Amino acid sequence: MRTIQFREAVCEAMSEEMRNDESIFLMGEEVAEYNGAYKASKGMLDEFGAKRVIDTPISELGFAGVAIGSTMTGNRPIVEYMTFNFSLVGIDQIINNAAKIRQMSGGQFNCPIVFRGPTASAGQLAATHSQAFENWFANTPGLKVIVPSNPYDAKGLLKSAIRDDDPVIFMESEQMYGDKGEVPEGEYTIPIGIADIKREGSDVTIVSFGKIIKEAYKAADELEKENISCEIIDLRTIRPMDHEAILNSVKKTNRLVILEEAWPFGNVATEITYQVQSQAFDYLDAPIEKINTADTPAPYSPVLLKEWLPNSEDVIKAVKKVIYK
């Protein structure tokens, strides 16, 4: 199987879907002439032309509204944000229009739209460019939220998102665009709402998603040297969440650690904790451990940033805590 970059997987997914459906178009800042801020739309302007790959002004509220309105006339837009930090400027359109069109129109209109771009930290980009908003969007009925961690999942899930008749938030990472992985040449999709067990284990379940899951892999390799077997679940989709996969794993391992690159208050890990404690409490041999960023805005200093972000050592400590409780 060939190996391609994450950005190439994203580009392939969009291009393949646009070849199959003329109602799909891409719009966002620098997606056309510049080939995308992260080169995730490289070559698409040349293939599809300026009417279907559209450079926008720096006006997220405006072009989000244009794209949402276009769904009501039969289009299926993909909106790229240079970072989801910038989506806050257009969040009124996403929350109050995209997520609610189907219900408020009594089913007369749906809203087949994908909002995609990077989430969470990407190095020294400081506090206003290093935020994870997965739980914000997942809190909204009507939205689906996807956070892939590798090129294979990114392509398969993005194709499913583009075909979906509801609005989908598709969150990537600036630090993953260069990641390489095996992606088949042929057509494939991955169903939305299905988690993936990336690593089988018997002693503890680690649930994570997005780029931070790499720290779980590092930790599991180290813990294996001490005969501690970790099962790693990649959520892939935050909403709808695959509770069954998590519960089945916890019933097997009897311990749970959740790794998430987000602030500790009211996040995805909190929701998972509630679901497991309400549906599988009797299977737990230790309290659930959550690993998050520090409860502050992201620092700029690389020394402070290293302390702020979760890492493999945090995972190892958490796993040993639930194992030896």
Residue whose tokens read 């408020």: 104
Long-range contacts of 281-286, Cβ-Cβ distance < 8 Å, separation of 24 or more: 283/250, 283/251, 283/254, 284/250, 284/254, 284/255, 284/256, 285/254, 285/255, 285/322, 285/325, 286/254, 286/255, 286/321, 286/322, 286/323, 286/325
How does pLDDT run across 273-296, given as a tens digit for each residue? 999 999 999 999 999 999 999 999
Asked if 60 is an active-site residue, the reply is yes
Mean pLDDT of 59-69: 97
Residue 243 bears catalytic tag:
no
Looking at this protein, which amino acid is placed at residue 303?
V
CA angle 303/150/183 to nearest 5° reads 150
- Six token digits for residue 292: 């998050």
Catalytic option among 29, 129, 261, 289: 129
How far apart (Å, rounded) are the C-alpha atoms in residues 37 and 316?
36
| pLDDT reported for residue 85 | 96
State both tokens at 3. 């190996």
CB 241 within 8 A of CB 235: yes
Tokens 């450079």 sit on residue:
55
Residue 325: its pLDDT value, please? 76
Residues facing residue 170 across a β-bridge: 116, 146
Determine how many CB atoms are found less than 10 A away from the CB of residue 141.
Answer: 9
113 vs 72: CA distance, rounded Å: 11
pLDDT in tens, 2-43: 999 999 999 999 999 999 999 999 999 999 999 999 999 999
3-state secondary structure the chain: CCEEEHHHHHHHHHHHHHHHCCCEEEEECCCCCCCCCCCCCCCHHHHHCCCCEEECCCCHHHHHHHHHHHHCCCCEEEEECCCCCHHHHHHHHHHHHHCCHHHHCCCCCCCCCEEEEECCCCCCCCHHHCCCCHHHHHCCCCCEEECCCCHHHHHHHHHHHHHCCCCEEEEECCCCCCCEEECCCCCCCCCCCCCEEEECCCCEEEEECHHHHHHHHHHHHHHHCCCCCEEEEECCEEECCCHHHHHHHHHHHCCEEEECCCCCCCCHHHHHHHHHHHHCHHHCCCCCEEECCCCCCCCCCHHHHHHHCCCHHHHHHHHHHHHCC
All structural domains of the chain = 3-182 (3.40.50.970), 196-323 (3.40.50.920)
pLDDT digits (tens, 9 = 90+) for 77-119: 999 999 999 999 999 999 999 999 999 999 999 999 999 999 9
Q: 245 falls in which pLDDT band (50, 70, 90)?
A: very high
Task: Give tens-digit pLDDT for 286-323.
Answer: 999 999 999 999 999 999 999 999 999 999 999 999 99
Give the CA angle between residues 198, 200, 205 to the nearest 5°.
Answer: 85
Q: Which of 29, 60, 134, 261 is catalytic?
A: 60
Across all residues in the chain, what is the average pLDDT?
Answer: 97
pTM exceeding 0.75: yes
The 10s digit of each residue's pLDDT in 204-221 is 999 999 999 999 999 999
Question: Over 90: is that where the pLDDT of 1 sits?
Answer: no
Q: What is the distance, to the nearest Å, from the Cα of residue 11 to the centroid of all Cα atoms in its chain?
A: 16
